[in-house]
Amino acid sequence: MALFVGGTEKTFGKVLQVISDTKASTGSSTALASGGNFTDLMSANITLATTSSKVMITCMVNTGASNASDATCLLRCLRDSTQIAGGTASGNRISTTSGKGTDNQGGHTQLMKTVHWIDSPSSTSQITYKVQFAKRGGGGGTAYVGQSYDDSNDTEEQRTPCCLTLTEIGA
Amino acid sequence: MAHKIDMAEAILAINPKAEVSIFEENYDTIQWFPGTSVISKADIEAKQAELQTAYDNKKYQRDRAAEYPPVVDQLDDIYHNGIDAWKATIKTTKDKYPKG
């Protein structure tokens, strides 16, 4: 397939490799995102074919919270030890990949959070991408992944997976 | 639906400032962040049991709260029918879910 823009043919990138990490386990955190106390949730290693390759990061996490105000689950992405896919921190406002959501609309709810991000690491050394989680707010409560807060033994509750996929796109 | 008190809730009940993460409700996976003192597995389990009992003992309150008419309707009931009629309406729910 060819795509012409203004009479000029545009070329497409090629998928060179796909790597993923999935988790079907449940997790919880009382640690504060504002203190930088994130917990590793998923990680995947990739070694790019060329320095000009890009990495498409795709991620899905289902989160719950014990409280509708505090304790909602925040996500952060890292390339090795460098934060990526974050907003610009400003004053006391911290940089994260996802913000406060409606994780808790009552104790039985979860919120699916997705990430799509293009990274240009300019490296052919092995890189580790990570997705981390922590809770929002200075009050009490707990953030959850893969489950709701109530998580009672009932068919109205769900256990949910999370996944991280890295796709190398060549020029 | 009964809520099961989890390890994180028990840890926060012991130390409201605790910062931890846990996977699969497994004590051995607990990450204790700096500034948070480690709490023994026995102490966490004892607190879980204590909180679970307290939660279960208040089931009648949750059942009643879910079944009471909306406050606006209760005010309307009082206005039109008086306090005694309103008390009779409320008593129906209280009797249905007695204190344990």
**Could you give the ipTM of this predicted complex?**
0.87
Record: contact B1-A152, CB cut-off 8 A? yes
Record: contact B21-A28, CB cut-off 8 A? yes
- For residue A141, CA distances in Å to A4, A99, A133 come to 53, 17, 14
Chain A interface residues (partner B, CB cutoff 8 A): 25-32, 35, 37, 39, 66, 107-108, 133, 140-142, 149-154, 156-157
Domain count, chain B: 2
Record: contact B21-A151, CB cut-off 8 A? no
B19/B51 same-domain check: yes
Identify the residue with better confidence: A54 or A139: A54
CB B23 within 8 A of CB B51: no
Do the domain assignments include residue B86? yes
B63/B47 same-domain check: no
Residues A76-124: pLDDT tens digits? 999 999 999 999 999 999 999 999 988 888 888 999 999 999 999 999 9
Do the domain assignments include residue B34? yes
Report the b/e string of B47-61 with b at 16+ CB within 10 A: bbeebbeeeeeeeee
B14/B52 same-domain check: yes
The whole-angstrom distance between A55's CA and the closest CA on chain B is: 29
B25/B51 same-domain check: yes
The whole-angstrom distance between B19's CA and the closest CA on chain A is: 4
Q: At what angle do helices B41-57 and B7-14 cross, to 10 degrees?
A: 100
Do the domain assignments include residue B16? yes
Do the domain assignments include residue B2? no
Do the domain assignments include residue B1? no
pLDDT at A67: 85
User: DSSP letter at B20?
Assistant: E
Residue B88's domain comprises 59-96
Record: contact A28-B12, CB cut-off 8 A? no
Do the domain assignments include residue B13? yes
Beta bridge partners of A83: A78
User: pLDDT over 90 for what percent of chain A?
Assistant: 78
B65/B49 same-domain check: no
Non-local CB neighbours of A73 within 8 Å, separated by 6+ positions = A29, A61, A63, A64, A65, A98, A101, A103, A111, A113, A133, A134, A135, A136, A143, A144, A145
pLDDT at A1: 62
Q: Does pTM surpass 0.80? A: yes
pLDDT category at B61 given cuts 50, 70, 90 is very high
B11/B52 same-domain check: yes
B51/B69 same-domain check: no
Do the domain assignments include residue B68? yes
The whole-angstrom distance between B60's CA and the closest CA on chain A is: 18
Judged on CB neighbours under 10 Å (0-12, 13-18, 19+), A150 is: buried
B52/B35 same-domain check: yes
The whole-angstrom distance between A64's CA and the closest CA on chain B is: 13
Retrieve residue B40's tokens: 């023994």
Question: Which residue among B3, B4, B21 places its CB closest to the CB of A39?
Answer: B21
Identify the residue with better confidence: A9 or A46: A46
pLDDT at A6: 84
